[in-house]
Structure 1
Amino acid sequence: MAGLIHPSSLERWQEWQSTRNRARQVKHAVTSAVRSRRGTQQMPGLMLHSREGEGDTRLLIGLDSASPTSRASLLTSLPYLRIGVDVLSPAGLDLPELAGDEWTHQRIEPATTEDEQRRRLAVVLDRRGIGAVLTLGQHLAAGRAAHEWALATDTASAVVQHGALTPYAPPLPPRTTLLAWSDADAEFYRSGRDDVEVRTVGSQLLWQAGKESEGEVDVTGQKPVFLGQMHGAELPRRLTAGIAMSFCRAEGALYRPHPSEVDVLSRAAHKLMTRRGVEFQDTSIPLHEVGAPVVGIFSTGVLEAAARGIPSWVAGEKVPAWVREFWDRYDMRRWGGEPTPALPTGADEPSRLIAQILEGAG
């Protein structure tokens, strides 16, 4: 079975990603240079949110985003955890799950170098009795800091799979345990590495979607909704935009831009689609409330719709071989045939299983 393009080197993955959006990279480089000249260049500020619990062993969660996907993957285990919990996040995130009276909040002041940030974080974490670390990976600031600390202190760590996997997913941290959606995803993400353990727990995202479902949804008379993915680094924009425009024009579908489609090139593509007669869906309506057929290229939203009983498909001619392998791994069905079936889910909630695994790790 195929695996990741960069199965072990975070540096090579970062180099690849930096080539995928040159305009954005130039903007960030200029901004960094200006800040450096002003003496304001700093590492991101971090917050440590803490809750007491039973026993002496604690769990550290590295959370980099307040997105529904990130919170569903990492914070839905909180009600099932009896041990104390620390959540490391960038400063300024709105995290309703951590707003109760039982939580305290400590700011870790920004540093000017990575080494200084590691030292400041170690001062805060070393004596807390942390026995396990949980993140979505090492590719963003809080997750990377948590895993670096775990490696330095020989603390057990785990990564939760939070989306459907492409070959361009970031590599897993060294000496970690992957909590995967399925056995096939576990082997794909592991990519032959012998320093990564795997446990299959299922997808909290899809489990919740299935529980919210009221059975098969009647979409008679509803226009299909095509899920935009121009923001994705995995495919060239000419392909993602071209597939979307061709499908919407041929099938009379509505285009739903991804929330990240706000850059100059995406906005230009939106204007071109509008001029060519493509209608856009009102994105103020949450995707889970859209009672219409859903179509995408390699979007996890296709699987979410299927879990909710909404007919969903994938579309795209002349896509790379990895996209077709992706469709097959998740049993995503091509437009024109039977809709995508909901992925099987276990009897127990994935978040409960994750909590049990983590409490046993310390």
Structure 2
Amino acid sequence: MALIHPRSLERWQEWRGSRRRVRGIHRARPSESAPGYVLHTREGEGSARILLGIDTADGAAHGGLPAVLPYVHGSAVVVTPAGLALDELEGPDWQHRRISEPSAALDGLGITSLLTLGWHREVGRSLHEWAREADVPGAVVQHDVLTPFAPPLPPDVTLLSWTVEDGEFHRADRDDIVVRAVGSQRLWQARHEASGEPPALDAQPVFLGQLSTIELPRRVTLRAAESYCRFAGALYQPGPAETDRLARAAHLLLRRRGIGFQDPSTTLSELGGPLAAVFSADVLDAAMRGIPAWVHAPGAPSWLAAQWERYGMRRVGGEPTPAPELGTDEPARLIAQILEGGA
């Protein structure tokens, strides 16, 4: 199955708006008391002036964009929503200025390339629209496992994908997209953060909850959680966005059926034992750390099985998911090199 909307952002947004709203804190949105944006600048050596658009501080969603900054030899310019705090943008080398609109502030800065997670968020869309008008080459970095419901790419950009297969899937046969496979910064970091100690195979397994995902009906994700927890004697760990009324009702149902819960703030490195999920980069992250990990979703649609195969994710009952292969160079370093070469 291919992307449901390979070209039209508006149609993708209509689809997303038709799904249930996921309630919770979304740090990508500026608060009412902090409208506008912030322009962060750091002068460097060389002629390149790299522009990054960062919409959110969420670790999974910002896709490792800040990890590129230490490898940028030239100057760096970052646009964020006002009120968004990032440790990577603090320090004496950084200057900060409130702006009302990114496009007016960027003209005349000599930007040579742009990097975002796409144009499906506010900052990313504004910057890609500006870049097309200013004839500045743009790039989008993949930040998560891809489903057919991924947002379409902006026109005329370079896609920095995890793998060649991901790149071909995401560009959806468009002839205006150039694909360069650079690997996953998240998985690179997971490999280097791995403790090296063997996992606790006798530890109680955990199922990572995904009731808030809009790609699948909640009945599918709830059935997957209950069946795995019963099969493996596992704990259920709620996802961070499982705070709405229906999610709380599902949690109560699981508890009434005798399923224990894991603290939702527990990280993968703190788990240390086997885990399962419906579909998640956490499965690959765990495999990279040497933690046995599987996928599980009885009655799921066919696109999910195709996704599992593309990433080498293994189903419950078989061997654990193997650690994905990574290149010899850090993705963030490769991305910086590509950007300073003009994307």
TM-score range, shorter chain: over 0.9
The counterpart of 1:312, out of the listed 275, 293, 299, is 293
Residue equivalent to 2:152: 171
Q: 1:52 to 1:354 in 2, by over 3 A?
A: same
* 8 Å Cα contact 2:38-2:82 kept in structure 1: yes
Residue equivalent to 1:18: 17
SS at match of 1:49: strand
Residue equivalent to 1:323: 304
Residue equivalent to 2:85: 94
Q: 1:304 to 1:23 in 2, by over 3 A?
A: closer
Shift of residue 57 of structure 1? 3.2
The counterpart of 1:152, out of the listed 120, 133, 141, is 133
Amino acid at match of 1:207: W
Amino acid at match of 1:67: D
- 1:332 and 2:318 are equivalent in the alignment: no
Deviations 1:176-200, CA, capped at 9 Å, x for gaps: 0000000110100010000110000
Q: Indicate the structure with greater helix content.
A: 1
Amino acid at match of 1:54: E
The counterpart of 1:53, out of the listed 41, 44, 53, is 44
Residue equivalent to 2:29: none
- 1:103 and 2:94 are equivalent in the alignment: yes
* 8 Å Cα contact 1:216-1:308 kept in structure 2: no
Q: Take 2:211 and 2:198, find their aligned partners in 1: how far apart are those partners?
A: 28
CA RMSD of aligned residues (A): 1.9
The counterpart of 1:345, out of the listed 323, 326, 335, is 326
Q: Take 1:250 and 1:55, find their aligned partners in 2: how far apart are those partners?
A: 58
Q: Take 1:42 and 1:147, find their aligned partners in 2: how far apart are those partners?
A: 26
Moved more, 52-61 or 81-90: 52-61
Counterparts of 1:1-362 in structure 2 under 5 Å? 2-21=1-20, 45-71=36-62, 73-109=64-100, 120-215=101-196, 217-361=198-342
Moved more, 320-329 or 83-92: 83-92
TM-score (norm 1): 0.89
Q: 1:16 to 1:42 in 2, by over 3 A?
A: farther
Structure 1 unaligned runs (5+)? 25-40, 110-119
Structure 2 unaligned runs (5+)? 24-31
Shift of residue 327 of structure 1? 0.4
Q: Take 2:106 and 2:66, find their aligned partners in 1: how far apart are those partners?
A: 20
Runs of 4+ that moved beyond 3 A: 41-44
Q: 1:44 to 1:176 in 2, by over 3 A?
A: farther
* 8 Å Cα contact 2:22-2:212 kept in structure 1: no
Q: Identity over aligned residues, as a percent?
A: 54
* 8 Å Cα contact 2:204-2:234 kept in structure 1: yes
TM-score (norm 2): 0.94
Shift of residue 251 of structure 1? 1.9
Amino acid at match of 2:5: H
Shift of residue 3 of structure 1? 2.2
Shift of residue 72 of structure 1? 5.1
Deviations 1:246-282, CA, capped at 9 Å, x for gaps: 2112321111111111111111111111111111111
Q: Take 2:22 and 2:327, find their aligned partners in 1: how far apart are those partners?
A: 44
Q: Take 1:145 and 1:328, find their aligned partners in 2: how far apart are those partners?
A: 35
Q: Take 1:44 and 1:138, find their aligned partners in 2: how far apart are those partners?
A: 19
